[in-house]
Each structure stands twice: as structure tokens, then as C-alpha cells.
Amino acid sequence: MQELNNNLYYIGNVTTNTFDLFDVYGNPIDGTNFTPYINNGLAQFTLTGPDLFTENLNTQEG
């Protein structure tokens, strides 16, 4: 899924084996039409900012 490379995302809905990606505006990333992932990939997380917190972006009230 090269379309995901070198972009900033937020993660949400984290479970033991999965997570969802959101853009910087909180919109979910739909990878349906991205190139298929075959194997041997790497997900790298860089934690930045003054505070680390978790939230479920799908249930934000706005």
C-alpha cells in the first residue's frame, strides 16, 4: 500500500491485531482502492506532541 507512505495519520480503534487510520482532520482513510499489501511490510509509529492520549475517532461528538 504505497499510497500510505510518507503521510501523517492518526490511529484509532486500536485492538490487539488491528487499528484504523485517520487523516489530520479526523476523516477515516479508505484503502479499498489502494494497491494490495502482499507481505513483509512495516508500520512505523512516531509519537509526537506535548501529550499522548487515545480516543476513538469514530465516536467523537462534534
Number of domains into which the chain is organized: 1
Predicted TM-score (pTM) of this structure: 0.57
Please say if the pLDDT value at position 6 is more than 60: yes
Phi, psi of 28 (to 5 degrees): -65, 145
Residue tagged 475517532 (cell numbers): 57
Distance CA 38, CA 43 (A): 14
Domain range spanning residue 3? 1-62
pLDDT of residue 62: 46
Residue tagged 477515516 (cell numbers): 28
Question: Taking Cα atoms as reference points, which of 21, 4, 12, 9 lies closest to residue 56?
Answer: 12
Please say if the pLDDT value at position 16 is more than 50: yes
Residues 6+ apart with CB under 8 A from 4: 21, 29, 31, 34
